[in-house]
Amino acid sequence: MALQVTPLAPCIGAEVSGADLARLDGDQFEQIQHALWAHQVLFVRDQPKLEPETQINFAKRFGPLHFHPAAPHLDGYPELFVIYADEHSKVANGNGWHTDVSCDEEPPLATMLQLHTVPETGGDTLFSSMYAAFETLSEPMQNFLCELTALHDSEHIYRGRYADRGVDDAGKRYPSAVHPVVRTHPETGRQALYVNPSFTTRIQNLSSDESRALLDLLFRHQQRAEFQVRFKWQENDIALWDNRCTQHLALWDYWPQTRSGHRVTIKGERPVYRAAPNEHRRMKLSRSSI
Ligand code: SIN
């Protein structure tokens, strides 16, 4: 049976209906994959609460899973990251623009999150298209960025972050990696801006002042509202996003309410930049051609 895919914003995001993710046949799974590459983030409502095995098995259809270097997981399920914030929380996960774990040498390809408890108001997640961010830059700036690499670090993010949830990270080393500033999506061939304010600390081969100024400019540009879609969660909704061409921000505006769920990430490949003809670099509002 064909699924319905309804775009939610010009650059990014679609809602999928008619899907029971626990029971997709091969053809429907291909439709989901195709929709994800085209729309970058998918939202699926009206799902039952997924058992850990069911969520893990669905995610494994995309490929092997990724293991988070820092976050608390469900007992017996090291690949399942428990998202949780309540009145006692000192931090809430994802409360700053980022792409998941870009500090890894092979950052996650995609992430699947189901929220089980949602606040009465607030707790939305915003997603931004890094294709749109790249494609709206001037050609000289695109050419300049395509030659650059940047350091993605995580010590400043993860050290002690989950102590209040029982994670003791004494003696642990957190990852860092150098990635191209522009990465080519292996499925679509499109170029995406691949720096983010949470993990990217330095552009290589520039002076420290130049690096700071350029990163500030890119971070401001990436956060333009017209590149975004904003998702308002209901209980058991699922979001599935492609980390290779998006960033997201989970708003922590709901304290002291509780927000919780389960997140699974799929292992990705080392980001690479491949030169593409200039006509592939202009802003495309229509996603139907992918
Ligand atoms: C995250 O995975 O960064 C958190 C997303 C969310 O809680 O909405």
Q: For the segment 114-148, what is each residue's pLDDT rounded down to a tens digit?
A: 999 999 999 999 999 999 999 999 999 999 999 99
- Give the distance (Å) from ligand 1 centre to CA of residue 124: 9
101-121 mean pLDDT: 98
Domain count, the chain: 1
End-to-end C-alpha distance for the chain, whole angstroms: 21
Instruction: Establish if 289 belongs to a structural domain.
Output: no
Please say if the pLDDT value at position 282 is more than 80. no
User: What's the alpha-carbon Rg for the chain, to the nearest Å?
Assistant: 18
Instruction: Establish if 245 belongs to a structural domain.
Output: yes
* Residue-number span of the structural domain to which 184 is assigned: 4-280
Q: Do residues 130 and 245 make contact, with C-beta atoms less than 8 angstroms apart?
A: yes
Instruction: Establish if 164 belongs to a structural domain.
Output: yes
113, 126, 260, 264: residue to mutate for ligand 1 pocket, most atoms within 8 A of CB: 113
The number of the ligand 1 atom at minimal distance from the alpha carbon of 100 is 3
Instruction: Establish if 286 belongs to a structural domain.
Output: no
DSSP assignment of 27-61: HHHHHHHHHHHHHSEEEE-SPPPPPHHHHHHHHHT
Residue whose structure tokens are 């509202």:
225
DSSP assignment of 119-169: -SS---EEEEEHHHHHHTS-HHHHHHHHT-EEEE--HHHHTTTTGGGT---
Instruction: Establish if 285 belongs to a structural domain.
Output: no
Q: Which residues contact 109 (CB under 8 A, 6 or more apart)?
A: 62, 63, 66, 242, 243, 244, 265, 266, 267, 268, 269
- Ligand 1 binding pocket includes 125 (Cβ within 6 Å): yes
Instruction: Establish if 212 belongs to a structural domain.
Output: yes
Max CA pair span of the chain: 56
- 260: confidence class by pLDDT, cuts 50, 70, 90: very high
